[in-house]
Structure 1
């Protein structure tokens, strides 16, 4: 069975809603080379991406247009198998994209042969996947920022008790990768 990996950019206070503190196209003055290298390694281990409709549409409107992207992120996103969970979207209009109608259909994806399946952004979908017990690993890129409010990965301060830390990797930018496996 394939692993479902939730990968999120998250603040110190647990916010994953990217309003005002995260911009994928702007790394400021920070050296992000080490973060990009880790993302490339993670991309090699995954052959499917699961997104909610809003995150999918946001990414579809941004990444295919990045013709001078030297990070490899746009190339990966344009070629990986993408699954958008939506009850209303009809035509995904992005190559290698398939519409799933319910989060439960992700369970069938996990049963198929292949590499990791990654879910990113997509707060509502990620919460549904968590509630269904489908998440095998959390990869949290923790930014040294406190925003005070916004939608959180672990809603209402609820923290799962079935997590085991498997990696903590600091980067020169101040970001830290925390990887947790569910037990």
Structure 2
């Protein structure tokens, strides 16, 4: 069975909305507001090397597909299989992209063999995957900033309690904290 990992840039108050750009009033907050420390991003390189496929929602697909293929630092992501969970996307243009229509299809993909499925961005998808019991691990880079509002990773009021086990952590000179949690079942 493949591991499903949700990886996010997150503010201290839990916002994951528009960390590099987008519609949020503070879009780009990870790069505009926090001093750069290369060491904090080591986990991102590791994720690319270890992932077997990228799993994203439609909104993230629409943001990533026009940009990531042109970025040399995302060469591994561009080469690997990509899965978009969407009921409306019909003709994905990003190389090696397959559309999944339901969480049942995600569960079937997860039951297969292979390297981890990595969920980037995609707040709604991450919440739905967690509610369906499909998330195995969280990779969080927690930034020392309070954004007040925006999409959150752990937002639903009716969500079930979920126990996590911290398996890796670090704090960097710019105040960013890396926390890797396994979901306890």
Q: Give the alignment's TM-score, normalised by structure 1.
A: 0.88
Query: In structure 2, do the counterparts of structure 1 residues 50 and 179 end up closer, same or farther at CA, with 3 Å as the change threshold?
Result: same
SS of residue paired to 2:103: coil
Structural RMSD (CA): 2.1
The 1:179–1:120 alpha-carbon spacing in structure 2 relative to 1, beyond 3 Å, is: same
Matches of 1:53 and 1:181 in 2, distance apart? 26
- 1:51-107 Cα shifts (integer Å, max 9, x gaps): 0011011001211233xx4xx2x2122112100011111111011111111122111
- Give the Å deviation of 1:125: 0.9
Q: TM-score, length-normalised on structure 2?
A: 0.87
Deviates more, 1:113-122 or 1:25-34: 25-34
Cα 1:27/1:144, change in 2 over 3 Å: same
Change (3 A) 1:144 1:95: same
Does the 8 Å contact 2:140/2:178 carry over to 1? yes
**Aligned partner of residue 94 in structure 2, secondary structure:** coil
Query: Which residue number corresponds to residue 145 of structure 1?
Result: 145
Runs of 4+ residues deviating >4 angstroms = 24-29, 156-159
Cα separation, partners in 2 of 1:29 and 1:164, compared to 1, 3 Å: closer
> Which residue is 1:128 aligned to?
128
Mark the runs of 5 or more structure 1 residues left unpaired by the alignment.
Answer: none
**Partner residue of 2:21?**
none
How many residue pairs were aligned?
178
Q: Which runs of 5+ in 2 are unaligned?
A: 19-23
Secondary structure of the corresponding residue to residue 155 of structure 1: coil
User: Partners of 2:86 and 2:153 in 1: how far apart?
Assistant: 20
